[in-house]
């Protein structure tokens, strides 16, 4: 019988770091770190999240050697990674039949992932929006504050849909990850979304 690799072998094989298929959510990014801000902003942020995920105030200020826009970029990359996990969980009940259009409360959002904006299922909108964000972030040199604002506006709708239409999933994930709280604090810090677009009520304990 083949032996199951130890976590250090699964996550740090041949000097590479990845979350392999079947990795439990709580084990994601749990490889050993020798990262520093100067060497890898993404690995450094992931190392902070392993120990300070629930201390958002300590995550937002840029570390020495990284300017504020570069740190925003690393945060957005990481948020997209984690939101991908989030969407993979909500899709079990957010089906094309149950949620045929993207909606938060009574507001319907058109999806821009079809050439011209048109209605799309909530899960389709979520996947298309994440694809858009990842494409933008892969072109780092062309990612401006305007692009970040558009990205945040679209990504926020995913959280809003889950909050208003799949509350149990939202509360379970928020309690475990503080992902929404981090996302909103980041949006406010960098003025990426007007308060009128932040429609989820304040969550003082981020659910608890």
Q: Which residue ranges make up the annotated binding site?
A: 94, 99, 161, 166
| Separation CA 137–CA 73 (nearest Å) | 7
The helix/strand/coil state of 92 is coil
Q: Which residues define the annotated binding site for Zn(2+)?
A: 94, 99, 161, 166
Burial of 104 (0-12, 13-18, 19+ CB in 10 A): buried
The HSE-up count of residue 146 (CA atoms within 13 Å, CB side) is 1
Instruction: Map 173-198 to HEC letters.
Output: HHHHHCHHHHHHHHHHHCCCCCHHHC
DSSP summary character for residue 108:
E
CB atoms within 10 A of CB 102: 25
Tokens representing 5 are 């690799």
Burial class (CB in 10 A: 0-12, 13-18, 19+), 100: middle
Q: Which DSSP string do the residues of 36-50 spell out, in sequence order?
A: -TTT-HHHHHHHHHH
């Amino acid at each position: 019988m083949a032996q199951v690799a130890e976590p250090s072998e699964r996550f740090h094989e041949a000097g590479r770091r990845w979350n392999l298929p079947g990795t439990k959510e709580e084990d994601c990014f749990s490889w050993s770190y020798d990262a520093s801000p100067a060497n890898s902003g993404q690995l450094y942020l992931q190392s902070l999240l392993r120990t300070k995920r629930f201390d958002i105030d300590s995550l937002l200020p840029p570390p020495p050697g990284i300017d504020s826009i570069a740190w925003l970029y690393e945060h957005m990359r990481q948020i997209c990674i984690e939101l991908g996990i989030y969407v993979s969980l909500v899709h079990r009940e957010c089906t094309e039949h149950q949620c045929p259009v993207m909606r938060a409360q009574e507001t319907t959002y058109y999806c821009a992932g079809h050439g011209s904006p048109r209605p799309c299922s909530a899960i389709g909108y979520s996947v298309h929006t994440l694809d858009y964000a990842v494409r933008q972030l892969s072109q780092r040199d062309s990612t401006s504050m305007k692009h970040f604002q558009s990205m945040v506006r679209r990504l926020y709708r995913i959280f809003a849909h889950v909050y208003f239409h799949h509350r149990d999933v939202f509360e379970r994930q928020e309690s475990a990850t503080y992902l929404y709280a981090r996302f909103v604090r980041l949006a406010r810090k960098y003025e990426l979304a007007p308060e009128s677009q932040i429609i989820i009520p304040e969550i003082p304990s981020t659910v608890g």
